[in-house]
Amino acid sequence: MDILFIADPLDHFKIYKDTTYAMMAEAARRGHALYACEPQHLAWTGNAVEANVRRIEIIGDEADSDRSPWFSAAEPENLPLAKFGAVLMRKDPPFDLEYVNATWLLEMAERAGARVFNKPQAIRDHSEKLAIAEWPQFVAPTLVTRDPARLRAFHAEHGDAILKPLDGMGGMGVFRVKADGMNLGSIIEMLSENGARMVMAQKFIPEISDGDKRILVIGGEPVPYSLARIPQGSEVRGNLAAGGLGRAQPLTARDREIAETLGPVLKARGLLLAGLDAIGDYLTEVNVTSPTCFREIMDQTGFDVAGMFIDALERAVG
C-alpha cells in the first residue's frame, strides 16, 4: 500500500521520540511504500486535490535513534491524493486557518476517493479543549468564557484554578492561579486579549503531581498503557514540551472507563487515533490532530503501539 504522510518537515523530526516516525518505520517494515509532504504542498487543480510529494525510504541502523540523516527521498512529483491507499494527516498544531484550509482540501480529496486519517471533518469538528463537554461525567469543574467577571467568579468559587487558551499546545499559555489570586487580572487580560478571546478555566486537580496522563485510543480501543507526563520542579505543566518527565504505566480502572466510553464514538466519527488527556480521574482534553507518545510507551513497556496503529490502519482501508 502507498501511504502519504502529511507532516512537518522530516529533517526536523527527533526520531527517538517522534510518533510519526514510529508509524513510518512500522509501515515500512511491513512493505508499505512511504510518501511525505507538508500541508503547503497540497493543491486543488480544478479537477483533483493533489500534493507535491516525495517517496521516502528509511535508511541507516534503526537501532541508532539519533542518526542523521534517517531517510532518503526521491525527486518530488505531483500526485492526486486518491492515488494513495491511505493519507495520514500528521501536521502538528497550531490549529489556525491554514490548518482548517488543509482539512477542507482533504475533504475534497475524500470525495474523489482518498482515504484520509484522521477524517478531516472530524479533526475540524473536535476542538481539543472543548470536546470534553460531550462527556461531562468525566470533567472537573470547568468554565469557558471571554467575560473577565465570570473568570474571576470561577476562581473565587474554587480558590485554585488553571487558566489556558483554547488553541494552545504543548502546555503553552497555561497558568495556575492559587487562592491568593496573584496576577489573576493580568493573566485574564493576556489570555482573553482584554475580552476578545475565549479562555478555559478549570478547577486545579492536585493529582497533576502524579502526571498528566496521555491515554491513546486506536481504532476505538485503548492502548493498555498511558504515559504520565510528570511536572518537574516548580512547574505546574506536565507536557513533555514543557519539560515534563514521561512515565509509562498501566491504565487505571477510571482511565479504561474513559477510553472505552469515548473510543467507539470517536472511531465512528473517523478518528482512527485519539489521545485522551486525564489528570487523576478527570478528562481534560481530546487530542485528534497529531497525538503523540508512541515511542515513550513502546520504549518503556515493550508494547507495540505502532504495530497496533498500522493494524488498525490496514483494517480501516480494507
Q: Residue 132 gets which letter from DSSP?
A: G
Q: 6, 91 in Cβ contact below 8 A?
A: yes
CA distance 206 to 37: 42
Contacts (Cβ under 8 Å, ≥6 apart) of 160: 176, 177, 178, 179, 203, 204
* Neighbour-count burial of 98, counting CB atoms closer than 10 A to its CB (0-12 exposed, 13-18 middle, 19+ buried): exposed
The residues facing 216 across adjacent strands are 275
Q: Which residues of 3-20 are buried (b: 16+ CB within 10 A; e: fewer)?
A: bbbbbbebeebebebbbb
Residue with cell 515534563: 244
Q: 120, 107 in Cβ contact below 8 A?
A: yes
Active site residues: 129, 164, 214, 229, 237, 277, 285, 287
